[in-house]
Amino acid sequence: MSVESITNQATTAPSARLERVRYEIRGALARRARELEAAGHAVLKLNIGNPGRFGFRAPAHLTAAMTAHLADSDAYCHEQGVEAARAAILAQQCGRGAAVADIDRVFIGNGVSELIDLALRALLDPGDEVLLPSPDYPLWSAATILNDGTPRYYDCPAAQGHLPGPDQIEALCGPHTRALVLINPNNPTGACYPRELLERIVEIAARHGLLLLCDEIYDGILYDDAGFTPLAALAGDLPCVSFGGLSKVHRACGFRVGWMTLSGAGERVEEYRDALQLLAALRLCANVPAQWAIEPALTGPDTISALTAPGGRLYEARRAVQDAVARSQFLECVVPQGALYAFPAVRAGVLSDFDDNEFALRVLDEEHALVVPGSSFNLHASRHFRITLLPEPAQIADVFARIERVLERMVEAVDAIVPDRCAVRV
């Protein structure tokens, strides 16, 4: 091997950090789905909460606002975002009871994903720890690792309605713990956190001097009598970063518009605010045209409640999941209270050697439906898989029929090897 080829290998070696980073929602299974499509197969993709791919459109008054302001969008805007948009976000947060002093505490980004990275980059030093839910949305784990932090996971099991236990959270707090992450309403489980639980979590953060980071991108997507309690309203003077955006409630993923607001007593958050501003300035600004949709989104008509109420498309898709699980020989599921997903599981009495990745691959290869294994959400020994509620209810019923066929074949294969084994079928 020549010196030149050795040098070229060294310069293109990826960062060692990436060895611990996973994002299977768009990973190997999604690549396999594309291969099947290229071979002429139609694949039902339930892996991504992307409303536009399922026939949903952003509300007309949002696109109209963008169009009306195209002439105002040629230049960079302020690094934290268009002032009118930030003022609308500030008004929403203050109306919810958050202690956000002024628009200098509001940051607009290219989706919440970018802002999660900025929030952690401004906070973490090597070895600092971040408390994350398990299952989590894997971007949170990835951003923690890529910013030299260490994820530590608190459990949100189905047996607890996918809600965390405050005692376990507190037991994980140590001298290197810097932040506590909540996702409410939750992705991937659909859990909505009750006020009493959030109050206990705020008390833990106060005792241990933790920054609260609350991903509230699904704040308006609620079913039946589920409620949403903004964390910042309970945090008061405690430093808290709340994340929201247009992608989900307003079905505008492609706009790439998210925001974060920093609440808490001024002297406790001033240096962190300045660090966020520096990082925002380094990337110049977020996409300008779509920022003009923020004010009409937050002050205009409610366009989500009709979809989540009985008879609405999302509500009936959720009902289709419930009905399919009730009919299944093999599945169980905590009914989602919010967000755009369900997180079913193969019952513990079925297939004792169950592997969720192998299962998802079989569903894809044999039945041409793409779901996400629960282990992709940093859930150990997972028997879960995540699907989005965005398809039509009939499509969801069809996918579950395909899943049932795969599980029947898997059980029959085990029964053929161990014919007297009765624990595989319940």
Summarize pLDDT for 365-400 with one digit per residue, the tens: 999 999 999 999 999 989 999 999 999 999 999 999
Distance CA 211, CA 205 (A): 7
232-276 tens-digit pLDDT: 999 999 999 999 999 999 999 999 999 999 999 888 899 999 999
Identify the three-state secondary structure at position 244. Answer: strand
Tell me the average pLDDT of the chain. Answer: 93
* DSSP label of 52: G
208 neighbors 173 (Cβ within 8 angstroms): yes
CATH architecture label of 60-299: 3-Layer(aba) Sandwich (3.40)
Find the length of the chain.
426
Which CATH number is 3-56+306-417's, of 3.40.50.1390, 1.10.10.10, 3.90.1150.10, 3.40.50.2000? 3.90.1150.10
Domain ranges of the chain: 3-56+306-417, 60-299
Kindly report whether the peptide bond that precedes residue 135 is cis, defined as omega within 30 degrees of 0.
yes
> CA nearest 103: which of 84, 126, 117, 121?
84
- Can you tell me the mean pLDDT for 347-370? 95
pLDDT higher than 80, residue 424: no
- Can you tell me the mean pLDDT for 8-31? 77
121 CB burial (10 A radius; 0-12, 13-18, 19+): middle
> CA nearest 261: which of 78, 138, 91, 65?
91
